[in-house]
A and B are shown apart, each in its own frame.
Chain A
Amino acid sequence: MAYIAMTTGFVLILIGLYGALTNRNILRMIVAFTVANTGVNLVMVAVGYLHGRTAPILDAAVPVAEAAARIIDPVPQALVLTAIVIGVGVTALMLAYAYKLYESKRTLDISAFKDLKW
C-alpha cells in the first residue's frame, strides 16, 4: 500500500519519456517532459515516506519535542520544491524555443530541424 505513490511516480516517468521519444511534434515533447518531471517529483516525495507518520508540519498537533518520532523525512520535500521551480524554468525556456522554431520554419516537426548533422 505504501508504495502506490512510488510506483505511480515511476509509471509517470516512463510515460513521459515514452511520449517525449516517440512524438514528432515539439509541443507534445515538451508536455511529455513535464509529465516526466512530475513523475520524478512524485518519486522524490514518495522516498521520504515512513509508515505510520505524519506530515512534517510543526504546529500545535506536532510539537517540536516529539517531532523527530512522529513526522516523515522532511528533506526530500524540500528538494522537491527546488526541483519543481527548476522544472518550470526549463519548460518555459523550451516553450520559448518552440515558438522561435515554429517562427523560423513554420513547422513543429522535430525532424525538420536536421541541417546540423554528421
Chain B
Amino acid sequence: MVSAIYILAVGLGAAFLIGLLRDEWRAGAYGVSLAALALMSLISAGWVWVLATGDGSAVDIMTAGTLPPYAINLRMGLAEAVLTLLINLTGLLSAVYLRDTLFKQGRRALATLLVFTMAACGIVLTRDLFNLFVFFELVAIATGGLVLLSRDQRALAAGFKYLVASQVITVLLLVGIIFAYHATGTLNIDGMAELSALVLQGGALAFFLMFIAIVLDLKPFPANGWALDIYESAHPAFSAMLSAASASAALFAADKLLLIGGSTWLPVATGIGLFGFVGANLFALAQTNDRRLLGYSSVAQVGLILAVLGQRDLLGDRYLFIAGGILLAHALAKAGLFWLSGLIEGRKLTAWSALQGHPILIFAFASFIALLVGLPPFPGFYAKWELVIALAGQGRLALIGLILFGALLEAGYLFRWFGQALKRERSLEPVAASSFKRAVILSAVAAGWGLGFIWGALSPNGNLLLALPLLFALAFLALEPLSVRIKNSVAIVGMVAWFLLTLPSYDPLQLIFAAVMLLGGALILLASYQTQGQRIGFYPSAMLMYAGLAMLIVAEDAFSFFAAWESLTIGSYFLILRGQRSEPHALSYMIFSLGGAFLILAGFALAAGGDPLFALAGLAEVAAPIAPWVFLLLAIGFMTKTAAVGLHIWLPGAHAEAETDVSPMVSGILLKAGLFGLFVLLMAMGSQQLYGVELTHLLLWIGALSALIGNLMAAFQEDAKRLLAYSSIGQMGYALFGLAMMNHLGWLMALMFVINHFIYKSMLFLSVGGVAKRTGTRDMYRMGGLITLMPLSFIAVLIGIIAMSGVPPLSGFGGRWIFYNAILTAEYRLPMILIFISGPIAFLYLFRLIHTIFLGQLKDEHRRVKEAPFWLVLPQMIFVAFLLVFALVPGLALRRVDAYISQFHPSGALGWEGLTITSDFGYWSPISIMIVVGVIFASLFAWLVFVNRKAQKVKQFNIVFAGERPFRPETTHFAWNFFAPYRKALGFMTEPLVERFWAAVVDLLHACAELFRRLYTGNGQTYAIQLLAFVVVVYLLRTGL
C-alpha cells in the first residue's frame, strides 16, 4: 500500500502547483485541487481497507531515516486511517459544494483549502508534539483564510476573534511543549508516554499547559464564543469542514495527549466534556439562528466525545467503537446539516419550512437528526448502548444521568426544529436548485446509512439493518412514487404474512399482542384506502412503527427490545406529525417517549452490569440492592408509553390532532406496547420492595388515579377526539391497575382490556373521524341528529359504547366481571375505590359522545351529509362483528393465555368448560345472558312495533315546546357543557396540575438558557479573557481534586 506520507505530500504539492498556474486557468486549478483531494481520500481509503481486512496493526512512517527521538514519525493505524478518510472526503465534498465561490476567489482559496485538509490529516498522523503544533497553526491560519469565503459581512469579526484565540492557544502550547521537552528530553508522544517520570517531578505543569491548549482548540464550553461566531457567519461548506474535519482531528490529538498524561488526567477530560455536552445543549434551547444552533450542537457533541475519551480506561478496547461511532455520526450529520443550510435563504429556524415541497431533502434532514440523536439504525445508537452499559457496569451512574439528560435536551430542540420546519406555513424563498450541492448532501445521507450498516455489523448485538421487519419498512422508501392503493395492499399483505410467519414462535401472551398489533394494524390500514394520491411519507413511518412493534414482541435480549422500542417511537412520531395542527403535541410526545426510552436504557444498563448482550430473562436474576431501582426505571419508562397520570399530557393532543386513520393506530395499538413492556417486566421481576414501599402497590395507585383522572377529564371535553383520547388514558389506567394487582385474574383482566380497548377504541376513532370528515368539525356541539344520515357510523358507535361501558351483553362486561373476581383476592383495597367511581363516569362521557353527535337536533348545514366513506365504514363493521363474536365466546382468545398465566400465578385460574365460565367466587355464561336479554328485547320490541304500527313519523321540531315554536336547531340542541352538575361537584379534580408542572420545568430550562447565553458578549477580547479564565479554573480544579 502506498505510504501515508503521500497524503501530506500530494496536498502540499498540489497547493504549490496551483500557485504556478496562470490566474485565468480557474477551471484547471479547480480540477487539480479536486484531483489532489480525491487522491488523498483514495490513499486513506486504501489504508482503511488494508488495516480493516488485515491484522489491523499500525504502521509507522519514519522521516529523515532515523528513529523517533531525533526525527518526526507518523503513524497510520486503523483509527488514523478512518479519520483521515473522513477529513479528506469532507474536504473533497466541500470543495465540490464550493465550486462557484472557489471559481470566484481563484487559486489562493484553493490552495488554502488544500493546506487546511492536509494540515488536518497531519494532526491525525503525526506522533511528534512540535509537529502537532505546526499542523495546528496551519489549520488556524487556513481557517482564518477560508472564513472569508462567506458572503456574511460579520465573518470578518469572527475571523479576527478566532485568530486572537489561536494566538493565546499558541502561547500556551509552545510553553507547554518546550518545558515538556525539557523534562523528558524527547518530543515524541510515544517516547514521552513511556517516561512516566514526567508526571512526577516538575513536568506536570508543562503537560497541563499542552493538554489545556489542545482542549482549548476543541472549543470547550463555556470559553468558545469565538468558535460559535465562526460557525454562524462562515460559509456553510466551510463550517461543515470545520465541525467535521478539524474537530475530529483535534479530538484525536487530545486522545494522543491523554496517552501521555495517563489515567490521572482522564477525569479532567470527562469533566470538561460532559460540562460542555450538557451546557451547550442547554444553551441551544434558546437559539433561533439555525447555523448558530448547529454550532452549539457540534460543540456539545465534541464535548460528549471528549467525555468518552475520558472514559477510555473503563471502556477498554471498545472505546474506539463507541467514540468512533459518535464521532463519525456527528461529523456526517453536522456536515450534512451545514450543507443543507447552504440551500436555504432565511437564517430563522422556521425558514427551513421551505423544505416542505422536497421529500428527498426532508428525508435527508430527518436522517441527519436521527444520526445526531443516535436513533436506530444509526451508529450513534450502538455506541450509546455500549457506552451506557459499560458505564453502568462500573457504577458511574451520575455520568449516565448527565449523558442521557444532555441527549434528551438535544433531541428536544432538534425535533422542535424538525417539527417547525415540517408543519409551520411554508416560507416564500425557494430552496436553491443546484444539483451538485444536493448530490453532496445525498452522498452524506448515503454515507450515514452505510455507516449504520457497518456499525451494526461491528456491534456484537447483531445488525439492526438485517432485521426483516425494519428492511420491509425501509423498502417502502423505494415504493414512495407508487399510488396509495398498491402501497396499502403491499403493507397489509406484508403484515399478515409476517404474523403468519412468526405465528409458531409465539407463546399465548405474545400471540394476543401480536394479533392485536399486526392483524389489528392490517385491519386499521384498510381505512387508509380512502385517501387518494401518493401520501408521501405515510407508509415508511407507519411500517417503521409496525416493524418496531413486531420486533418488540419477539425480542429476546435487552438490545433488540430497546432497538424495537425506539424504532416504534420514531415511526409513531412521524405518523402523529402528519396531522394539521399536531406539531406541538407530536413534539411533547417525542420528548416524553424519548425520556421514557432513556429511562428504560438506564434500567437495562443497571440490570446488565456491563454485559452488552444482556438477555431479558436476566431481569429475574438481578441482584437485590439494585433490583428495585431497575424495576422503578423500567416501569416509569413503560408508563410514559401508556400515558399513566403525570406522564399523560402528550396523549390528548397527539391522538386528537392525528389524521383520521392514524388516531386508531396510535391509540388502539401503540399504547399496548407500553402494556407489553409492563407484562414482560412484571413476569420477569415480580413485585419489588424499595425503602419498604411495595412498588406494585405504587403502580396500583397510579393505575387507579389515571383511570379516575382520565375518565373525569373525558367527561368535560367539547372535542370528540380529545374525549376519546382522555378515555384511552382512563382505560390504560384500568389495565395498569389489573396488571399491578399481581394475581391471576388481574393479569387476565389486563389482557381482556388489551383486546377490548383495541377493538372499541379503533372503532370509535374511525367513526368519529368519518363524522368529522363529513361535517368538517370535531366540536360535538356543532354536530347533532346524524343518526338518520350516517346509520352505519351510529351502529358502530352504539356497539362501541355498550361494550366500553361494561353493560352486560357485550364483552366489556367480561372485563368488569374478571375485575371483580380479581379484587376479591387482592390485598390492597383503597385504590379500588377510585376504580369503582371511574367505572360509571366512563358511562357518562360515552353517552355524551353518542348523544351530541348522532341524537338531538340536525343542523342546517348537515342536512345533505352522506354516510362516512366506504373504506372507513368497512373496518368498523368488521370490528363490530368481531366484538359480538368475542362477547359470545371470550374463551376463543382467553383460554390458552389463562393457562399460560397460571405459570406465574397458579391460584385463581378460570374454568372454561361448557357455557359458563367459573371462577372461585362466581360464574358467568355470556351466551345465556345474550340469549335471555335477546329474547326479552326481541319480544318487547315486536310488541311495541305491533302496537305502534300506525305511528306518525314526525320531524325534528315536532316537540312539545310549551306551545311555542322552537327557534333554530342550534338553539334547541343541548350539547355544550353537557355535564354541568358534575363540573360543579367534581370540577376541582380536573385542574391541569400536571400540565402546569411540566410547563414550569420547560420554562425553567428556557429561562436558564436565555439568561446564561448572555455570557457570549460578542467582544473578541472578552473571549480571550474567558479562555485564560477557563485555563486557570481548570488548573485550580485539577489541583484541588
Contact = CB atoms under 8 A, between A and B. Distances in A.
Chains A and B in contact, CB within 8 Å: yes
Interface of A: 13, 16-17, 20-21, 24, 26, 29, 33, 36-37, 40, 43-44, 47, 75-76, 79, 82-83, 86-87, 89-90, 93-94, 97-98, 100-101, 104, 110-111, 113-118
Interface string B193-229: 0000000000000000000000000000000010011
Interface in B380-430: none
Contacts of A29: 164, 1021
Nearest to A39: B171
Contact of B1019 (A33, A83, A104, A111): A111
Nearest to B288: A118
Contacts of B187: 75
A40 B1014 contact: no
Interface stretch (B84-92, B175-183, B906-914): B175-183
Contacts of B659: none
Task: Give me the 5 closest cross-chain CB pairs, A-B, nearest first.
Answer: A117-B1018, A114-B1018, A113-B157, A116-B229, A97-B160
Interface of B: 130, 134, 137, 140-141, 144-145, 153-154, 156-161, 163-164, 166-168, 170-171, 174-175, 177-179, 181-182, 187, 225, 228-229, 232-233, 286, 1013-1014, 1016-1021, 1024-1025, 1028
Contacts of B161: 113
B171 A40 contact: yes
Contact of B179 (A47, A82, A114, A117): A47
6 contacts: A40-B174, A89-B137, A90-B163, A93-B163, A116-B233, A117-B1018
Contacts of B1025: 21
Nearest to A86: B137
Contacts of B170: 37, 40, 86-87, 90
A93 B167 contact: no
A97 B144 contact: yes
A44 B174 contact: yes
A90 B174 contact: no
Given A29-B164, A90-B166, A104 B153 contact: yes
A73 B202 CA distance: 19
Given A75-B187, A79-B130, A114-B1019, A90 B1024 contact: no
Nearest to A113: B157
Chain B: interface secondary structure?
Answer: helix
B164 A116 contact: no
A21 B232 CA distance: 24
Nearest to B232: A116
A115 B292 CA distance: 13
Contacts of A113: 154, 156-157, 160-161, 1018-1020
Given A21-B1025, A82-B134, A110 B1019 contact: yes
A117 B233 CA distance: 11
Nearest to A92: B141
A16 B172 CA distance: 13
Contacts of B1028: 17, 21
A101 B157 contact: yes
B175 A40 contact: yes
A98 B164 CA distance: 12
B137 A90 contact: yes
A86 B233 CA distance: 26
A64 to B, nearest CB: 15
Given A75-B181, A116-B233, A93 B1021 contact: no
B226 to A, nearest CB: 10
Contacts of B1019: 110-111, 113-114
Contact of A76 (B141, B156, B167, B178): B178
Contact of A17 (B145, B154, B171, B233): B171
A65 to B, nearest CB: 18
B223 to A, nearest CB: 14
A93 B145 CA distance: 8
Point out which of A33, A89, A118 has the most chain B C-beta atoms below 10 A from its C-beta: A118
Given A17-B168, A17-B1028, A43-B175, A111 B157 contact: no
A38 B156 CA distance: 26
Contacts of A36: 167, 171
A94 B163 contact: yes
Contacts of B229: 116
A49 to B, nearest CB: 10
A50 to B, nearest CB: 11
A114 B232 CA distance: 13
Contacts of A21: 1021, 1024-1025, 1028
Nearest to A78: B130
Contact of A90 (B134, B141, B157): B141
Point out which of A16, A36, A97 has the most chain B C-beta atoms below 10 A from its C-beta: A97
B157 A115 contact: yes
A44 B1021 contact: no
B141 A89 contact: yes
Given A24-B1021, A90-B170, A115 B154 contact: yes
Contacts of A114: 157, 1017-1019
A89 B167 CA distance: 11
Contacts of B177: 79
Contact of B160 (A20, A83, A98, A115): A98
Given A114-B1019, A115-B154, A117-B1017, A97 B163 contact: yes
Given A21-B1025, A97-B156, A113-B160, A118 B1016 contact: yes
B747 to A, nearest CB: 55
Nearest to A24: B1021
Given A17-B1028, A118-B1013, A110 B1021 contact: yes
Contact of A116 (B157, B179, B181, B1024): B157
Contacts of B140: 90
B178 to A, nearest CB: 5
A40 B168 CA distance: 11
A83 B144 CA distance: 18
A21 to B, nearest CB: 6
A98 B978 CA distance: 73
A35 B425 CA distance: 56
Given A36-B167, A75-B187, A101-B157, A47 B1021 contact: no
Given A43-B178, A93-B144, A117-B1017, 7 more contacts: A13-B175, A21-B1025, A33-B167, A36-B171, A93-B145, A101-B156, A110-B1019
A20 B171 CA distance: 12
B178 A20 contact: no
B741 to A, nearest CB: 54
Nearest to A46: B178
A93 B157 contact: no
A20 B158 contact: no
Contacts of B232: 116
A76 B181 contact: yes
A40 B286 CA distance: 41
B510 to A, nearest CB: 53
B131 to A, nearest CB: 9
Contact of B178 (A26, A79, A100, A116): A79
Contacts of A37: 167, 170-171
A13 B171 contact: yes
B1018 A115 contact: yes
A97 B141 CA distance: 12
Given A36-B171, A116-B232, A47 B137 contact: no
A104 B163 CA distance: 18
B1036 to A, nearest CB: 18
A109 to B, nearest CB: 10
A110 B225 CA distance: 15
A116 B233 CA distance: 8
A29 B1019 CA distance: 13
B1011 to A, nearest CB: 11
Nearest to A44: B178
A86 B134 CA distance: 8
Given A76-B178, A93-B144, A110 B171 contact: no
Contacts of A83: 174
Nearest to A75: B181
Point out which of B141, B160, B187, B1018 has the most chain A C-beta atoms below 10 A from its C-beta: B160
